[in-house]
Structures are given as C-alpha cells and as structure tokens.
C-alpha cells in the first residue's frame, strides 16, 4: 500500500535568514501538488528539503512510517520520492520513452514489469505519439 509523503514543520536557515519557516504539507499517492507563492518565499527550498537536495535545520520528512529526513537523495528516489524542476531536463537529449525508462530503472522492476509500466504510463499520459 502506498503511503503519504509528509513534510512536518520544515525549517531551513541560511546565515541569519530563515528561508523556510515551519512549512508542512501532505501529498497522497497519485496526488498532484503545486506550491504557490512569490519569488523568494521558500518554495524551491522546501521541495529540495523533501527530496534531499538540502538538509533541513528543523522538522522532518516522512513517507508513511519511514523518516526520510537524514536519507540521501538516492534512497528517497528509490522509495519513489522525486522532484521535477522547472529547468530543462538533464536528460533532454533522451526521448520521452528513454526518460521514463531511466526513472523506472530506479524502481528495481524486472525488465518485463518495467516495459509493461512504461507502456501503461505512455498510454495514461497520452504520450504514444511522442515516445
């Protein structure tokens, strides 16, 4: 059973400036979430703390009963926690199909299951024509 991803009272301080001040949110499996706010409000830093790009100075990140707060980014990615930045993909020279396949490799699926999941995702998001 999939679990909720939860940010509990995240805090991040750079020097004397608190850039994330007790931010909390919950994301259910399959839910799409956007964090809105003005430039400099701490949106990106909050997401970076969740995926492990920065270590929070306070609070914690959990996936179900697992505390991910001190886990490195690759461990979180293997558990399905990732972040899609607004910047161009580091995989921009790969096809859509190859981008999805690269992410599926992190899931530890055997080749047959990964191929089935790839086809299901291409169908679900109507990407068959741009694969």
Where along the chain do its domains lie? 5-78, 96-130
**Other CB atoms within 10 Å distance of the CB of residue 74:** 10
> Which pTM was predicted?
0.67
What is the rounded CA–CA span in Å between residue 12 and residue 21?
A: 7
Q: Note the pLDDT tens digit of each residue in 55-97.
A: 999 999 999 999 999 999 989 988 989 877 666 666 677 888 8
Gap between the Cα atoms of 55 and 84, Å rounded = 18
The closest of 74, 117, 76 to 97, measured between CA atoms, is 117
Write out the CATH class of domain 5-78.
alpha beta
Per-residue CA distances from 78 to 9, 124, 129 (Å):
24, 22, 29
Residue-wise pLDDT for 2-45, tens only, equals 799 999 999 999 999 999 999 999 999 888 888 888 999 999 99
């Amino acid at each position: 059973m999939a679990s909720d991803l939860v940010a509990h009272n995240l805090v991040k301080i750079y020097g004397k400036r608190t850039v994330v001040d007790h931010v909390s949110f919950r994301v259910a499996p399959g839910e799409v979430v956007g964090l809105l706010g003005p430039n400099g409000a701490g949106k990106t830093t909050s997401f970076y703390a969740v995926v492990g790009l920065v270590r929070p100075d306070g609070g914690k990140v959990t996936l179900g009963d697992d505390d991910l707060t001190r886990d490195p980014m690759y461990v979180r990615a293997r558990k399905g926690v990732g972040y899609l930045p607004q910047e161009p993909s580091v995989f921009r020279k790969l096809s859509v199909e190859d981008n999805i396949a690269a992410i599926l490799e992190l899931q530890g699926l055997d080749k047959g299951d990964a191929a089935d999941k790839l086809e299901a995702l291409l169908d679900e998001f109507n990407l068959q024509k741009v694969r």
